[in-house]
Amino acid sequence: MNTMHNTPVITTVFTLVSTTFVGAVALAQSTPVASPAAPAVASPVAPPVAGVPVAEARPMVELAICLDISGSMDGLIDSAKARLWSIVNDLATAKPVPRVRVALLTYGCDAYDSTMGWVVVDSGLTEDLDLISQKLFALKTNGGTELVGRVVNKAAQTLAWSSDSNALRMIIVAGNEAADQDLEVTYQQASRTSIERGVLVNSIYCGDANDSLASTWGNVARLADGQFFCIDQSMGALVAETPFDKQLAELSMSINATYLACGTKGEAAWANQSAQDANALGLSGGAAAQRAASKSSAIYDNRAWDLVDGCAAGEMKLEEMKDEDLPESMRGKTLGEKQAILATQQGERARIQQEIQALQVQREAFLTDVKRKAATTQGVSLDDALKQAIRTQATAKGFKFETPALPVPVAANTAAATTQTAAGQSKN
């Protein structure tokens, strides 16, 4: 198990999701340097009128993240914890704003059942992003035998993918050992099965593009119309901190009081919301700030258990709810009193979301300035290079973003150039 190339991979995992989101298969070339524009801000949730469903026709984006958690991949897990909310925020700036469902699968752990190829579905496809965060924080490395074909096949064939022909369905598989170790379910079989089901496969090799193992990882993506990346291990996945993070973290926690949890499952999900606030803050103020921004966006959707989101989506009707399923503050009250409570919570949530959005604008401007200054001496991270490609491809496909990603100087684009070369080699 290679221990040299694990930490930065999830930065690429989550950026790669955004790249595939616009349906592009080829990697974009770097563009000339330009002055950064004002930072983009995620679209907030508009407060609905109590009891009136809000019509929505948002495209569905589904992604299954498959992580190697063998003994050398501690950096992978640590990066995943920090970068989850970054991808949420990136997708939330797209127009139209998609609905997002995420699944988490892990492989390469000796503690897993060998008859199942050492693969576990930690979570099926869900809009409950706090659940995905919870599962990520519970991961431990141990092992192991990394069977790429088995985990891709498991994701393609067992997850409850949307039947909507317009939905974007993708698998992202990351690891640092040979992709062709599985002799029972080869990666060729798994990738072909996946694309036949309308699911793209994107691969990330945690190593140098010149490594002998890289070409098979490229083939994993090529056979399923996906994208392939190699990671420069010198580029980290730390979340930058700013003077605005403390207040954003506080607002992230205060917005929880506006949620109206329904039923026992709702109460558990509401408790987990606070637990994931604490997990993010435990990583860094920057991670907590990213999470706050996510919670102010339309993608952070808890319609399955929250009365505010449920009524906004038209999936819950207050007048039809049983009293015992409602939050304690609503039980025993008249319909009019319940509607008043709902409206109050809607209004308070919208107020906090707007406050978060205003601070997020300042935070992104601060980070953009820091990145611009750093680019003159230290170059730009692979994350920034890929975001530039994302915006270029997204515009070509008809999606709109308020601003492009921070431009990448050609001299600082070594990592992206290496990735493009490797991707080209895999198709030969």
Q: What global pTM score does this model have?
A: 0.81
Beta strands in 108-211 (DSSP E): 119-126, 168-175, 200-205
**Is 132:273 a contact under the CB 8 Å cutoff?**
no
pLDDT of residue 281: 96
End-to-end CA distance of the chain: 27
pLDDT at 181: 94
User: What does the CA dihedral 293, 294, 295, 301 come to, rounded to 10 degrees?
Assistant: 160
Every domain of the chain and the residues it spans: 9-44+56-239+377-426, 245-369
Q: What is the mean pLDDT of the segment spanning 184-209? A: 91
Instruction: Tell me the pLDDT band of 169, cut-offs 50, 70 and 90.
Output: confident
Percentage of the chain surpassing pLDDT 90? 51
Spatial distance between the Cα atoms of 2 and 175, rounded to a whole number of angstroms:
9
* CA 54/CA 27 separation, integer angstroms: 37
Q: How far apart are CA 363 and CA 256, in angstroms?
A: 22
Query: Among the listed ranges 53-67, 338-352, 367-381, which one has the minimum average pLDDT value?
Result: 367-381
Q: What pLDDT is attached to residue 142?
A: 85
pLDDT confidence tier of residue 311, bands split at 50, 70 and 90: very high
Using CA atoms of 125, 402, 41, 376 in order, give the dihedral in degrees to the nearest 10: 100
pLDDT in tens, 251-306: 999 999 999 999 999 999 999 999 999 999 999 999 999 999 999 999 999 999 99
Q: What is the pLDDT of residues 348-390, one digit of tens each?
A: 999 999 999 999 999 999 988 887 776 554 433 334 434 443 4
Q: Tell me what pLDDT residue 157 has.
A: 97
**What is the CATH code of the structural domain delimited by 9-44+56-239+377-426?**
3.40.50.410
Q: Share the mean pLDDT of the chain.
A: 79
Q: What is the pLDDT of residues 71-108, one digit of tens each?
A: 877 777 787 787 788 888 887 888 888 888 999 999 99
The arithmetic mean of pLDDT across residues 191-206, rounded, is 90
3-state secondary structure of 60: strand
Residue 45's SS3 state is coil
pLDDT confidence of residue 124: 98
423 — pLDDT class (breaks 50, 70, 90): very low
Other CB atoms closer than 10 Å to residue 17's CB: what's the count?
23
What span, in angstroms and rounded, lies between the C-alpha atoms of 399 and 396? 7
